[in-house]
Amino acid sequence: MNFIKRLLIIKVAVVFLLLISTTTTSGQDQHSILFFGDSITAGYGLDEEQAYPALIQEKIDSLGLEVRVINAGLSGETTAGGVRRVEWILQQEIDIFFLGLGGNDGLRGIDPANTKSNLQQIIEKVKQKDENIEIILAGMEAPPNLGDDYTTRFRNVFSELADENNLIFMPFLLDDVAGERELNQPDGIHPTAEGQQIIADHIWEIIKPLLVDVP
């Protein structure tokens, strides 16, 4: 087993232990938002507090709300990996489930039909956990070098899933960030701290109304 694989296994184990620990020590009445995604969610290349889930937590705390944010982002995660991981992640109480997977599928040119099937399975598992969990689906875009047909089919996966499952829909997770050199790290894929702040601001517009009734 190479070094990178060992690091990923350790990271998943640590995240899981933290989730279980938080669930055990928190009051049952505390509300929670889980961000389920890949390296964008994990805050690749940045400190943990610079990733958008942590920035959302700051906004929540500023309002004095008893809501905890769980960052379940895993670098390199595909939708297929998400299907295998989600039941493990769902071993806790969740009020809002933010689904931000798909970017790595697009980068790898995975058949959009497979991406859609995987995301549907994740959505169904969340609903099976608790039909009252509010699911927010974030759309993703495929790189243009894969051709117009592929990018269109890939883009449509997310809007179709949102319509078919009656989900809250964020059309593009990286809106106003993707393609902006100054908002992305040298790899051109992962947002800088400023880019993460823009993502957090967009997500906050969606999530804040859902917190109106939170004591």
- Active site positions, annotated: 39, 187, 190
Q: Which residues pair with 169 in a beta bridge?
A: 137
Which residues touch 151 (CB under 8 Å, ≥6 apart)?
141, 142, 143, 144
Amino acid in position 42? A
d(CA 162, CA 153): 15
Amino acid in position 155? R
Edge-to-edge strand list for the sheet holding 67-73: 67-73, 31-37, 96-100, 134-138, 168-170
The H or E element spanning position 150 is helix 148-165
d(CA 48, CA 90): 21
Amino acid in position 89? I
Angle between helices 112-129 and 148-165 (to 10 degrees): 20
CA 177 from centre of chain: 16
